[in-house]
A and B are shown apart, each in its own frame.
Chain A
Amino acid sequence: MSRQDHIREFAAQALADGRVDYFIGWKQGYNSSEVVPAFVKDPADVDQLIWTPLCHHNLVTFIKRNMPDPADAKIGLCVKGCDSRTLVALLQEELVDKEKLYVVGVPCDGIVDRRKLEKEFADELVDIAFPERGRVVVTTGKGETREFAQDDVLLDVCGRCRYPNALYADDVAGPLEAEPDREESGPDWSDIADFENLSDDEKQAALERVYATCIRCFACVHVCPVCVCWDKCVNRSREPELVAQKVGAKENLLFQMIHMFHVAGRCTSCGACDRACPVEIPLYLLHRKMNKEIYDMFGFEPGTKLDEKPVFQLFDLATDHFGD
């Protein structure tokens, strides 16, 4: 039985049993080259649900504080390994209620970066097919078809993945994927090595350049599964006006710095912000740098252990996290 069949079966069962009011998974978008989130309420509709390497959405975003509708809804959802870290982070902070969740873990062998594929073609993509594991066949509106190796077109985050299987799940959709030896190899920070090598002034310049094109659509903030402030976001507040309303490189950077601090020690590097940004700003830069600092200083990896609290929520007068 395929992972997709497992998902459909688990969803149908949970809906039929009344264990959940609705089930969140993925379904095909406007054509077979695109996937969008799916909210299924009727067991008869579970056949919409799919599982392919295009299912990039971190569905945990849809259950973060104040999101469920009605507020006490019982929700089922699919999580990949990376998404499960976000879920663990929210559970650590008691921002979601375990009792109201039904979680299906989906072992994942890497998500395809649709933007990378788009850049390979002049025309619009109409179909992306996966005839077998590792093969990606892309067809454009003009009928051009090309094949890629899945590993060559993965999301950057997938290249560094250490958690292919869910860290928290009630049921698992099929056999687990092979796990790296996490004791042996720590997180891979190669993606920010270039940035780290810059001087302070160069870093400032690089960041201002990167954020210059931000249009303040706030998509990155909305999609961020650990960002919880909604319309109270200080980046939009006029009282106090921490960030000026005018859109400029410095102000944009300040906005992102604030976001970085709010998710410091909580960001699970899911990459949702990167994928949501319409102007393709590499938002990971600041968040990953902060995560690395936190990892080096406290040995803390957000969203990996249920019984931990985020380091910055552990303020304690008496303990000295820095040792001697």
Chain B
Amino acid sequence: MRIGVFVCHCGSNIAGTVDVDRLAERALTLKDVVHGEDIMYTCSEPGQAAIQKAIEEKKLDRVVVAACSPHMHEPTFRRCVDKGGLNPYLFEMANIREHCSWIHTDMPVATDKAWDIIKMAVAKARRLEPLFSNEVEINKDVLVIGGGVAGIQAALDLADAGLKVTIVERETTIGGVMAKLDKTFPTIDCSACILTPRMVDCGQHENIELMTYCEVDKVSGYVGNFTVDIRKKASMVDWSKCIGCEICVQKCPSKAPDVFNVGLEPTKAIYIPFPQAVPKRAAIQTEYCRYFQTGKCKVCERVCPADAIDFEQKDEIVQKRFGAIVVATGLDVFDWETGYPEYGGGKIKDVISGLQYERMLNASGPYGGHVHRLSNGEDPKTVVFIQCVGSRDESVNRPYCSSVCCMYTAKQALLTKDHCGSDVEVYVFYIDIRATGKGYEEFIKRVQTEFGVKYVRGRVSKLYEDGGKVMVRGVDTLLGEQVEIAADLVVLATGIQAPEGAKDLAQKLNISYDEFGFMKEGHPKLRPVETNTAGVFLAGVSQGPKDIPATVAQASGTASKVLGLLAKDKLKTSPMIAIVDQKNCVSCWKCIDVCPFSAPEKQEQRDGTFKSHVIETVCQGCGVCVATCPVNTISLKGFPTDAILDQIEEVLQPTPSH
């Protein structure tokens, strides 16, 4: 065996704390090591060339690089040795940066530790065997979960490129939050005017299948070959017949909360969220329907011209296969009523959320765009906006910035002047103004100067009713004094939070999420739309708060990543996977229980008994089963048990200090 050891300086990152030259020399004293070399930047072109040269000249059959984390550069060096003519899996990495130089300051101590790490890597390298990748066919259909603007954009891009796309949306229509907005910052163009054509395109695209009022029940499989159970929720209306005429809605006697209008005014038990809904189909909220609650009514059935009402409908599960999945599940608005009792906790009628205000402003909303006080219907003379409600506030566990509220508040302040006339007094309480997008700062300036909206820096401590007004008490931190404003209408710039069920969905997809339920990207800079599960991608607010321009840009970025993946006909699988030596398997099925990817299965043997077998293409090589198997009969290729024992033995040898 001929092992080469390359010790990286990483500039002064490693060499500053670890005596790199000595280690390279000392490596030659290890059994089987025939080449030791220190390199300034091993990952650079000359660094890689040095490795390849040594492989050729010294006839190396194993390569050890002592440098940074394998997370960082293992793929780089595997490619490098591959090009140098060695099987890429005859390479081993010793992490002497993150695990050593970065966390120590004392050179002799750090050098001793680096030596231990290198010795262990060499011990492991001796046990490595060449491994070879397999190829699997991939399915080219894409599942997009969530039909907000993110999902819509990603689906259109993918469908235009020729891929078949299925959008699974849990509401009856696509559109998401953007469909509820009035105008959009900073251009004040009408939200519906730019969104609805896209919604229609989705509905009519030959490559897009809309599955609204559906949810993802179960996901199995792996990149290129996902199998997804989709639950079609019972709408009690046969959508193949419903023509969206809304006659049922007009005649239905039962009121129900209107989610689309954020609870401002009730809708009916049978409802269609808004006139431009895609698809435009009715559904019954059974918990409010008179027939479902009392057994009598069926008015809708009688009036429906298309004979579409079906009270017997049941949830249905449809199984589909996909090659890639895009998560675009967007946001929920922060539930301020429970979070902020000091703002009346929802009991003061003239205190509303930002999203409710969008519906109030909207000409096709429940009030035809009439801005008024909900308590008495009068036009407001003083309107107060409060920013950062449910954002940047540790006390309600929302320390993050929702990133859109400063801008949408400025927009709404402007629109208030526009709707109510320039003599309406408009105040905005803010902590900071975050207006980092293109044209955003200019927009804020215009709202302040041209439209005369008064910005007060400070938090509002209390809202209470007095003499028919909503009293707003706070501090102006710039002037350092208490302020109290008698307002007619108060709009809370409610923040963004992860939608209900986000964690649940993440678990089904085996992807991670942060402590607030936003999905985690593979790497914040280098893999911003990928997840750590191959084949699952993110778009829009599901990954973190952002506005529409950023959402759309990201969704297109996501689509291009999916296209990149599915441009190939076959996918290379990692050979570093678990394998069961069945002769020792005692069929305890612990491996099946623990595998997060459902890779092990019960395989029937010739004698009719069952033993565990790991499905090669499903296994992600996480090693959990290997650690769990009580008889040690599973091994992870690339991590032989004997190599691990050798490593332990090696590190237990005392290191003579130098």
Interface residues of A (CB under 8 A from B): 65-66, 93-95, 228-230, 232-234, 237, 240, 242, 262, 309, 312-319, 324
Question: In the bound complex, how far is the Cα of B624 from the Cα of A230, in angstroms?
Answer: 22
Bound-complex Cα distance A229 to B506 (A): 35
Please, how many angstroms separate the alpha-carbon atoms of A237 and B632 in the complex?
9
**Judging by beta carbons under 8 Å apart, are B587 and A65 in contact?**
yes
Interface range, B side: 20 to 34
Pair A317/B510 contact, Cβ less than 8 Å: yes
A313 touches B594 (CB 8 A): yes
Q: Inside 8 A of B588's CB, which chain A residues have their CB? A: 65, 93, 95, 228-229
Q: A93-B593, A228-B586 are in contact. List 5 more A-B contacts (CB 8 A).
A: A234-B632, A309-B593, A313-B590, A315-B596, A319-B507
Identify whether the interface residues of A are mostly helix, strand, loop, or mixed. loop
Contacts of A229 in B (CB 8 A): 586, 588, 630-631
Please determine whether B632 and A242 come into contact, CB atoms closer than 8 angstroms.
yes
Given A65-B586, A93-B589, A232-B584, check contact A318 B512 (CB 8 Å): yes
- Among B585, B596, B642, point to the contact of A240 (Cβ < 8 A): B642
For residue B130, give the distance in angstroms from its CB to the closest CB of chain A. Answer: 21
- B645: Cβ under 8 A from any A Cβ: yes
What separation, in Å, do the CA atoms of A232 and B588 have in the docked complex?
12
Instruction: Report B-chain residues with C-beta under 8 Å of the C-beta of A316.
Output: 507, 596
Give Cα A230 to B583, complex, Å. 13
Q: Check A312 against B628 for contact (C-beta < 8 Å).
A: yes
> Shortest distance in angstroms between A267's beta carbon and chain B's nearest beta carbon?
13
Instruction: Name the residue among B506, B513, B515, B628 with the largest chain A CB count within 10 angstroms.
Output: B628
Query: 8 Å CB contacts to A: which residues of B618-641?
Result: 624, 628, 630-633, 641
For residue B503, CB closer than 8 A to chain A, the reply is yes
- The answer to whether B633 and A240 have CB atoms under 8 Å apart is no
Structural contact, B641 and A230, CB atoms closer than 8 A:
no
Residue of A nearest to B507 (CB): A318
User: What are the residues of chain A within 8 A of B632 when measuring CB–CB?
Assistant: 234, 237, 240, 242
Chain A to chain B: the 7 pairs with minimum beta-carbon distance, closest first = A313-B593, A318-B507, A315-B594, A232-B631, A262-B630, A317-B596, A232-B584
Q: Tell me, rounded to whole Å, the shortest Cβ–Cβ distance linking B97 to chain A.
A: 27
A240 to B628, CA, bound (A): 16
- Minimum Cβ distance to chain B for residue A320 (Å): 10
The residues in B between 77 and 118 inclusive whose CB is less than 8 angstroms from any CB of A are none
In angstroms, Cα B588 to Cα A237, docked, is: 18
- The CA of A53 and the CA of B588, in the complex, are separated in Å by 33
Most buried by A among B586, B596, B624: B586
Query: Which of chain A's residues has its CB closest to B625's CB?
Result: A315
In the complex the two chains form, is A234's CB within 8 Å of B587's CB?
A: no
Please measure, in the bound complex, the distance between the C-alpha atom of A232 and the C-alpha atom of B612, giving whole angstroms.
Answer: 15
A240 contacts B587, C-beta separation under 8 Å: no
Task: Kindly provide the distance from the CB of B652 to the nearest chain A CB, expressed in whole angstroms.
Answer: 13
A-B contact pairs, 11 of them (CB 8 A): A65-B586, A229-B588, A233-B631, A234-B630, A242-B632, A313-B593, A315-B595, A317-B507, A317-B596, A318-B506, A324-B515
| Residues of A close to B512: CB separation below 8 A | 317-318
B residues lining the A interface (CB < 8 Å): 503, 506-507, 510-513, 515, 584-590, 593-596, 624, 628, 630-633, 641-642, 645
B298 CB to nearest A CB, Å: 40
Most buried by B among A65, A230, A233, A317: A317
Most buried by B among A94, A229, A314, A316: A229
- Chain A residues with Cβ below 8 Å from B642 are 240
Distance A233 CA – B507 CA, assembled complex (angstroms): 34
A318–B586 CB distance below 8 A = no
Known A-B contacts A240-B642, A318-B506, A318-B507; A232 and B589 likewise in contact (beta carbons under 8 Å): no
Report the minimal beta-carbon distance from B580 to chain A, rounded to whole angstroms: 12
Tell me the bound Cα distance from A265 to B590 in angstroms. Answer: 13
Given contacts A315-B596, A315-B624, contact A232 B633 (CB under 8 A): yes
Q: Name the residue of chain A whose CB is nearest to the CB of B593.
A: A313
A232, chain B: closest CB distance, angstroms: 4
Closest to A71 in B: B609
Contact A240 B641 (CB under 8 A): yes
B513 to A: closest C-beta gap in Å: 7
For B515, the chain A residues whose CB sits under 8 A away are 324
| Closest Cβ neighbor of A313 among chain B residues | B593
Q: How far, in angstroms, from A228 to B587 measured CA to CA in the complex? A: 9
Closest B residue to A230 using CB positions: B586
CA distance A66 to B588 in the complex (A): 10
Which residues on A sit within 8 Å (CB–CB) of B586?
Answer: 65-66, 228-230, 232
Which residues of B are found within 8 Å of A319, using beta-carbon distances? 507
CB distance from B599 to the nearest CB of A (A): 13
Give the complex CA separation of A242 and B594 in angstroms.
23
Contact call B594/A318, Cβ cutoff below 8 A: no
Assess the A94–B631 pair: CB atoms within 8 A: no
Q: Of residues A94, A232, A262, A318, which shows the largest number of chain B Cβ atoms within 10 Å of its Cβ?
A: A318
Contact B513 A318, beta carbon cutoff 8 Å:
yes
B230 to chain A, nearest CB (A): 20
Interchain nearest-CB distance for B646 vs A (Å): 10
Chain A residue with the shortest CB-CB distance to B645: A240
A232 contacts across to B, CB distance below 8 A: 584-586, 631, 633
Chain B's closest residue to A258 (CB) is B630
| Distance, CA A318 to CA B507, complexed state (A) | 6
Nearest-CB distance from B370 to chain A (Å)? 46
Residue in B closest to A237 when the chains form the complex, CB atoms: B632
Residue of B nearest to A316 (CB): B596
Residues of B within 8 A of A233 (CB): 631
Judging by beta carbons under 8 Å apart, are A318 and B624 in contact? no
- Closest CB in chain B relative to A287 CB, distance in Å: 15
Interface centre among B507, B631, B645 (most CB of A within 10 A): B631
Partner of B503, one of A93, A313, A318, A324: A318
Residues of A within 8 A of B633 (CB): 232
Q: How far is the CB of B611 from chain A (nearest CB, A)?
A: 11
- Whole-angstrom distance between the alpha carbons of A243 and B595 in the complex? 27
A240-B164 Cα distance, complex, nearest whole Å = 50
Residues on B with C-beta less than 8 A from A318 are: 503, 506-507, 510-513
A289 to B596, CA, bound (A): 28
**B124: min CB distance to chain A, Å:** 14
The answer for the CA separation of A230 and B585 in the assembled complex, in Å, is: 10
Q: Which residues of A have CB within 8 Å of B506?
A: 318
Asked if B645 contacts A314 (CB within 8 A), the reply is no
Say how far B54's CB is from chain A's closest CB, in angstroms.
32
| Smallest beta-carbon distance B492→chain A, Å | 28
A237 CB contacts on chain B under 8 angstroms: 631-632
Please, which residues of chain B bring their CB within 8 A of the CB of A93?
588-590, 593
- Cβ–Cβ < 8 Å partners of B510 in chain A: 317-318
Return chain A residues, CB-CB under 8 Å to B631.
229, 232-234, 237
A162: min CB distance to chain B, Å: 27
CA distance A194 to B593 in the complex (A): 36
**Complex-state Cα separation, A319 to B590, whole angstroms:** 18
Q: Please, which residue of chain B has its CB at the minimum distance from the CB of A324?
A: B515
**Chain A residue contacts of B513, Cβ below 8 A:** 318
Give bound CA distance, A230 to B642, whole Å: 23
Q: Which residue of A lies closest to B588 (CB)?
A: A228
Residues of chain B within 8 A (CB-CB) of A234 are 630-632
Q: Closest Cβ of chain B: how far from A290's Cβ, in Å?
A: 15
Task: Give complex CA distance A158, B97 in Å.
Answer: 55
Chain A residues with Cβ below 8 Å from B594 are 312-315
CA distance A316 to B622 in the complex (A): 12
Chain B residues lying within 8 Å of A66, measured Cβ to Cβ, are 586-587
Name the distance in Å between B597's Cβ and chain A's nearest Cβ: 9
Which residues on the A side are within 8 Å of B585 (C-beta)? 232
* Minimal Cβ-Cβ distance residue in A for B622: A317
